[in-house]
Amino acid sequence: MVDRRVAPQTLPSRRRILEHFRERDPKMAQVIQAGGPFGLKRNRNYFVVLCRSIVSQQISIAAADTIYARFQKLFDGKSPTPQRVAGLPEDTLRAAGLSRQKASYMKDLSRRFLDGTLRPRQLNTLDNEAVIDRLTRVHGIGRWTAEMFLIFSLNRLDVLPVGDLGLLVAVQNIYGLKTRPDAKRVRAIGDKWSPYETIATWYGWRSLNADIVNY
């Protein structure tokens, strides 16, 4: 795979965002109008973002928030770091609500940060697919987790996580679908959002949870 480089993306104004969605997808424009300013912030603590993404795999936003809060309490008010997570027994991670599999993923992630195998700061200039390819080589990090990294660490504006449960539920609600959409249906809808798929996804999440969505 040849790594392709990208230039830094600039967040469009709220006016430009609304103009884009009113022209391409009026239903999503209404959600954005009601949702207030776009509040996505860049979290440069790459390890924390990846930890939270692992916690959040295949569970609801509310469940992920609860488990991650318990996970954070393990560090007595300090930020999770590779060293601190590596020093915890897996049973301690499981007692916070992590499955056995997710606890092993968290430990492996810590080891890879500590031995220099994973250096996320090098990913900032790569295009989305190249970043996903790098991250998914790590045990326990799949495409969804890599997409959360693209959104919350690199603030890429054109990410459409079609495997995200929250997005699927939001799309079903927003478009009045009788059943939860599959990836193909979400991609078809997301084509109208391009190149601001991340923005629509964020507002979809916020339509389910009024709190600011950040990692």
Write down the catalytic residue from 108, 164, 191, 211.
164
Q: Which two tokens stand for residue 130?
A: 């190249």
For residue 211, the model assigns a pLDDT of 75
Note whether 89 and 167 are same-domain residues: no
Q: Other CB atoms closer than 10 Å to residue 171's CB: what's the count?
A: 23
Note whether 83 and 60 are same-domain residues: yes
**Is residue 209 classed as helix, strand or coil in its secondary structure?**
coil
Note whether 126 and 61 are same-domain residues: yes
Burial class of residue 151 (count of CB atoms within 10 Å of its CB; 0-12, 13-18, 19+): buried
Domain containing residue 146: CATH number: 1.10.340.30
Note whether 117 and 185 are same-domain residues: no
Which structural domain, as residue segments, surrounds residue 187?
Answer: 14-35+159-208
Q: Which two tokens stand for residue 13?
A: 């104004």
Note whether 148 and 129 are same-domain residues: yes
List the chain residues with pLDDT less than 50.
Answer: none
The CA R_g of the chain, rounded to the nearest whole Å, is: 18
Note whether 139 and 61 are same-domain residues: yes
Note whether 110 and 31 are same-domain residues: no
β-partners of residue 5 are 126
How many domains are there within the chain?
2
Domain containing residue 181: CATH number: 1.10.1670.40
Whole-angstrom Cα distance, residue 207 to residue 170? 7
The answer to whether 191 is a known catalytic residue is no
Residue pLDDT, tens place only, 105-130:
999 999 988 998 877 778 888 999 99
For residue 121, the model assigns a pLDDT of 74
For residue 198, the model assigns a pLDDT of 97
**Which of 105, 120, 152 is the endpoint of a domain?**
152
For residue 6, the model assigns a pLDDT of 67
Q: Which helix (H) or strand (E) holds 46?
A: helix 46-56
With CA atoms as reference, report the closest residue to 196 among 160, 150, 157, 149.
157
Note whether 81 and 58 are same-domain residues: yes
For residue 4, the model assigns a pLDDT of 63
Q: Which two tokens stand for residue 65?
A: 């928030």
Whole-angstrom Cα distance, residue 143 to residue 147? 6
- Per the document, the length of the chain is 215
Look at residue 2 and tell me if it is in a domain. no
